[in-house]
């Protein structure tokens, strides 16, 4: 049977993040991708210039259209900026008996908060209990737990435990915002924490890393991998996509990771 995954997220007109990054990741990892678009953004490698939210009714209609027809093996949720949209997504997942990989896109690279307080509360109350795994970076975990950004593994574990108590089955604390030569993510699922470490990659082409990682986890789950297997494989895929991205020349700002590094070279050869 064909492995199928669905991304519920915003569209990135520049192609580096959001729906576009998710569908590229699914395809690169041998999974058929479907989508539910929550917002349309006007953006490129230099920044975002406009955002238009899709109405909750249309989000719900997309969910019903996809799940009533396709044999969905995994769901990934990305950018959802409005309380009403979060409620619509949670209701849709429950209607169709689905849980999800949740990438809580809450803090911009600039440090700006992308969600209103009521939307953050709704995400915690309605979406996290439907999370097979939630994949926050350190600022996002701090925002959801009301604590300072974690500066130690002890604090990362404390915040992960708080998120587990909100209903998520597992938490992947992403350490990309931490310092050091290694980029260390830690998977917490109630058992012994699993440390995933790769050398930090210095490149300007790092747009869409969070989207890509969470989509890769969903792709692994759609292919019937265990959660731990899916997370380990996703970390490896993202690292290799970042390394290969250094040779990409796309746009004038922060370019995307190389989603198809296994299939074609940056030069097109």
Read off the CATH number of the domain in which 125 is found. Answer: 3.40.1190.20
- The reply to whether 95 falls in a domain is yes
Range of the domain at 30: 4-245
d(CA 239, CA 208): 13
- The reply to whether 155 falls in a domain is yes
The tens digit of pLDDT for each residue in 170-182 reads 999 998 656 667 8
Tokens, residue 228: 């731990």
Reported as half-sphere exposure (CB side, CA atoms, 13 A), residue 6 has a value of 26
Q: Which residues pair with 8 in a beta bridge?
A: 36, 77
Q: Are 92 and 72 in contact (CB under 8 A)?
A: no
Contacts of 251 (CB under 8 A, 6+ apart): 14, 44, 45, 46
- The reply to whether 178 falls in a domain is yes
d(CA 179, CA 164): 25
Tokens, residue 99: 């849980």
Whole-model pTM: value is 0.95
Per-residue pLDDT band at 106 (split at 50, 70, 90): confident
The least confident of 46-50, 237-241, 252-256 is 46-50
| Averaged pLDDT for residues 6-28 | 96
- Cα 96 to Cα 3, 11, 82, 92, 214: the distances in Å are 18, 23, 22, 6, 21
- The reply to whether 150 falls in a domain is yes
d(CA 228, CA 148): 28
CA proximity to 24, closest of 268, 267, 261: 261
Q: Are 109 and 253 in contact (CB under 8 A)?
A: no
For the chain, give the longest Cα–Cα distance.
Answer: 50
Q: How many CB atoms lie within 10 A of CB 71?
A: 11
CA proximity to 4, closest of 30, 33, 39, 36: 33
As to burial, measured by CB atoms within 10 angstroms (0-12 exposed, 13-18 middle, 19+ buried), residue 109 is exposed
- The reply to whether 197 falls in a domain is yes
- The reply to whether 250 falls in a domain is no
Q: Nearest 5°: CA angle at 9, between 38 and 19?
A: 115
CA proximity to 133, closest of 225, 197, 55: 225
- The reply to whether 254 falls in a domain is no
The predicted structure's pLDDT at residue 114: 67
DSSP assignment of 120-167 equals HHHIIIIIGGGEEEE--BHHHHHHHHTSPPP-SHHHHHHHHHHHHHTT
The tens digit of pLDDT for each residue in 19-73 reads 999 999 999 999 999 999 999 989 999 988 888 999 999 999 999 999 999 999 9
The predicted structure's pLDDT at residue 191: 83
d(CA 10, CA 15): 11
Mean pLDDT, all residues of the chain: 92
The predicted structure's pLDDT at residue 57: 98
Domain count, the chain: 1
| Averaged pLDDT for residues 61-86 | 96
Q: Nearest 5°: CA angle at 110, between 45 and 6?
A: 60
- The reply to whether 176 falls in a domain is yes
């Amino acid at each position: 049977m064909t492995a199928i995954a669905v991304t519920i997220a915003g569209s990135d007109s520049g192609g580096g993040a959001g729906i576009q990054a998710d569908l590229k990741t699914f395809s690169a990892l041998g999974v058929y991708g479907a989508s539910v678009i929550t917002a349309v953004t006007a953006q490129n490698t230099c920044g975002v210039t406009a955002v238009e939210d899709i109405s909750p009714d249309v989000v719900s209609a997309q969910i019903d259209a996809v799940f009533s027809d396709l044999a969905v093996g995994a769901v990934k949720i990305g950018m959802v900026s409005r309380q009403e949209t979060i409620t619509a997504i949670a209701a849709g997942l429950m209607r169709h008996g689905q849980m999800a990989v949740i990438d809580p896109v809450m803090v911009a690279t600039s440090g700006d908060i992308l969600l209103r307080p009521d939307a953050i509360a709704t995400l915690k109350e309605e979406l996290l209990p439907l999370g097979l795994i939630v994949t926050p970076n350190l600022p996002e975990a701090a925002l959801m737990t009301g604590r300072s950004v974690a500066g130690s593994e002890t604090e990362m574990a404390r915040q992960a435990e708080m998120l587990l108590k909100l209903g998520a089955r597992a938490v992947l604390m992403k350490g990309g915002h931490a310092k050091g030569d290694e980029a260390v993510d830690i998977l917490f699922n109630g058992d012994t924490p699993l440390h995933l470490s790769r050398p930090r990659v210095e490149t300007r082409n790092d747009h869409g890393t969070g989207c890509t990682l969470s989509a890769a986890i969903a792709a692994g789950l759609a292919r019937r991998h265990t959660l731990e297997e899916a997370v380990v494989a996703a970390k490896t895929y993202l690292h290799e996509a970042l390394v290969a991205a250094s040779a990409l020349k796309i746009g004038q700002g922060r370019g995307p990771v190389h989603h198809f590094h296994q299939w074609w070279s940056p030069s097109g050869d």
